[in-house]
A and B are shown apart, each in its own frame.
Chain A
């Protein structure tokens, strides 16, 4: 069965500092991977996705993520965070391109220190 683990519940970084949010998945084949962001009281917005090909994917708002099959990881990175990046971040996995269901991780809350 698919599963997603986000080991960090809450991370605080200083504005302008780099960011890495961890995500590990469990699935037997190549998964379809996503990162979503959720601002307080809002729905989820897709930041980026990985289906195949280049293992480093670029997303919106300056975010990128790297798929590492050997580590079953799909960590999200940003070289310099802005105060507006404070939000909840969810990693998610789907079994294949036609997957009707996506499994979400428990989320990482990002706070930005001025």
Chain B
């Protein structure tokens, strides 16, 4: 069983606020990912990282940014939240095999 954590689980915040969604994994995985998922819809990759100091943009354009200073930590930041950012954000990690392990997600609502 994978150990990957996301905080907060739920967040309601006003427009214009800066937010950081936290993601941590205890498995020592090099590769980590952020997906955006609207309710009942598919997952869209927005950021990924191959390791420390490596970050790449995903397939879906996003106004968020990420950093990877430590192997276990991959936070996602929105400098100025907007209602269009309302969604669920899922973090995942991957070790030596191809499958990805997912955290429980953060459901973000911007009012």
**Which of B11-19, B38-46, B67-75, B78-86 lies on the face that meets chain A?**
B38-46
Distance of A51 Cα from B6 Cα, bound (Å): 29
Interface residues, chain A, with chain B CB atoms under 8 Å away:
32, 34, 36, 41-46, 49, 51, 88, 90, 94, 96-102, 104-107, 109
- With a cutoff of 8 Å between Cβ atoms, the chain B residues found around residue A107 in the complex are 40-42
Distance of A107 Cα from B42 Cα, bound (Å): 6
Distance of A27 Cα from B63 Cα, bound (Å): 30
Interface residues, chain B, with chain A CB atoms under 8 Å away:
4, 6, 31, 33, 40-43, 45, 48, 50, 58-59, 90, 92, 94, 97-105, 107
- With a cutoff of 8 Å between Cβ atoms, the chain A residues found around residue B48 in the complex are 100-101
Q: Which of B42, B98, B105, B107 has the most CB of A within 10 A?
A: B98
Residues A90 and B90 in contact in the complex (CB < 8 Å), given A42-B105, A43-B103, A44-B102: no
Listed by A's residue number, 7 A-B pairs whose Cβ atoms lie within 8 Å are A34-B99, A41-B107, A44-B90, A51-B98, A99-B98, A100-B50, A104-B42
Residues A100 and B94 in contact in the complex (CB < 8 Å), given A34-B99, A106-B41: yes
Residues A49 and B99 in contact in the complex (CB < 8 Å), given A42-B104, A43-B90, A43-B105: yes
Q: How far is the CB of B17 from chain A (nearest CB, A)?
A: 23
- With a cutoff of 8 Å between Cβ atoms, the chain B residues found around residue A88 in the complex are 40
Please give 20 more A-B residue pairs, beta carbons under 8 A apart, in addition to A44-B90, A101-B58, A102-B98: A41-B105, A41-B107, A43-B6, A43-B102, A43-B104, A43-B105, A44-B92, A45-B102, A49-B99, A94-B98, A97-B97, A98-B98, A99-B98, A100-B31, A100-B50, A101-B33, A101-B59, A104-B42, A107-B40, A109-B40
Closest to B91 in A: A43
Closest to B45 in A: A101
- With a cutoff of 8 Å between Cβ atoms, the chain B residues found around residue A51 in the complex are 98
- With a cutoff of 8 Å between Cβ atoms, the chain B residues found around residue A99 in the complex are 98
